[in-house]
């Protein structure tokens, strides 16, 4: 229990170094982007942190770069975590976005790296799911385009890097 409090504190303070994401101006082309999470996790709840950057390098130190920002924080049952943009954000359509998605429950965590370039006036939803636990942890992300008129969800091909790691030096 003491270790999970330390891990959570480190995670929250580490993410605190990044600025909050700033949406594009209303007169610029944009797309809606929302994240949902659904994990099989311990009864104490879980949180999902989504950071973003707009540089070409997806894995590695670039999430701490000048273009890095906290995009979305979702929480299910942890009173120590404040949600950020749970209803989604607008993304500019003139750049590729790379995401570091980390879900945490107690001492267990799972990170995924993905990227895509949104199209103007589209509505996207990323679903992050899996299992968080001490014996088996896994996670995945799926991206969908949502047709508002029919509420139809169409899978979107996006770059999926899974659990990439910093290269050894």
Per-domain residue ranges for the chain?
A: 2-162
pLDDT band for 136, please (50, 70, 90 cuts): confident
Average pLDDT over residues 92-103: 91
Q: Yes or no: say if 114 and 87 are a contact pair by the CB < 8 Å rule.
A: no
CB hemisphere CA count around 32 (13 angstroms): 13
Give the burial string for 122-145 (b: 16+ CB within 10 Å, else e).
bebbbebbbbbbeeebebebbbbb
107 beta partners: none
pLDDT band at 47 (very low <50, low <70, confident <90, very high): very high
Three-state DSSP class for residue 25: coil
Digit-coded pLDDT (tens) for 2-25: 334 434 444 444 445 889 999 999
Report strand pairing: 108-116 vs 159-162.
Answer: antiparallel
| pLDDT at residue 167, as a whole number | 45
The whole model's pTM is what? 0.83
Q: What is the SS3 assignment for 113? A: strand
pLDDT, position 91: 97
What is the pLDDT, as a whole number, of residue 3?
39
- What percent of the chain clears pLDDT 90, i.e. is strictly above it? 55
Residue 2, classed as helix, strand or coil, is helix
């Amino acid at each position: 229990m003491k270790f999970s409090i330390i891990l959570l504190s480190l995670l929250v303070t580490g993410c605190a170094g990044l600025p909050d994401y700033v949406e594009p101006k209303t007169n610029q082309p944009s797309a809606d982007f929302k994240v949902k999470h659904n994990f099989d996790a311990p009864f104490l709840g879980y949180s999902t942190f989504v950071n973003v950057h707009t540089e070409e390098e997806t894995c590695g130190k670039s999430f701490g770069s000048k273009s890095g920002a906290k995009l979305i924080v979702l929480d299910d049952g942890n009173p120590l975590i404040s949600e950020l943009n749970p209803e989604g954000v607008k993304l500019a359509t003139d750049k590729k976005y790379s995401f570091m998605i980390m879900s945490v429950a107690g001492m267990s965590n799972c990170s995924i790296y993905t990227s895509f370039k949104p199209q103007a006036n589209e509505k996207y939803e990323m679903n992050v799911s899996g299992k968080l636990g001490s014996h088996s942890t896994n996670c995945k992300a799926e991206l969908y385009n949502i047709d508002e008129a029919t509420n139809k969800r169409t899978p979107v091909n996006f770059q999926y890097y899974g659990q990439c790691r910093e290269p050894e030096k």
